[in-house]
Amino acid sequence: MSALINVSINVAKLPKEKFVTGKNGNVYYNFTVSVNDETNQYGQNASVFDSQTKEEREAKKDKTYLGNGKVVWTDGSCKTAERQEDKTEVVENESPDLPF
């Protein structure tokens, strides 16, 4: 772990159409957290925005600001997450032993 960030968001600003229901039935909402190099007048250095789609970013749509916070702990390094490749193999021309 390289950082802990506490944030507060204004839930009234969450666009209802952007809630997503997962395969498990749980409801999710995607956020973007920005950590700044400088602290503001309130001692905060993190901001939370509504995550934008690729189309919204390309159209230069304004970000929806949802709240702010601060980094409360760090070990001095914060790394970019790397996308995990799907390791599922696709096997063609096999008929599974299914009863239907």
Predicted confidence (pLDDT) per residue in 25-37, tens digit? 999 999 999 999 8
Residue 90 in domain: no
pLDDT tens by residue, 51-80 = 999 999 999 999 999 999 999 998 888 777
DSSP assignment letter at 94: -
Range of the domain at 35: 3-74
Q: Does the model's pTM come out above 0.85?
A: no
Residue 96 in domain: no
Residue 66 in domain: yes
The number of folded domains in the chain is 1
Residue 81 in domain: no
Residue 99 in domain: no
Tell me the percentage of the chain whose pLDDT exceeds 70: 82
Residue 12 in domain: yes
Residue 85 in domain: no
The beta-carbon contacts of 25-34 under 8 Å, at least 24 apart in sequence, are 31/66, 32/63, 33/5, 33/7
* Residue 95 confidence (pLDDT) above 80: no
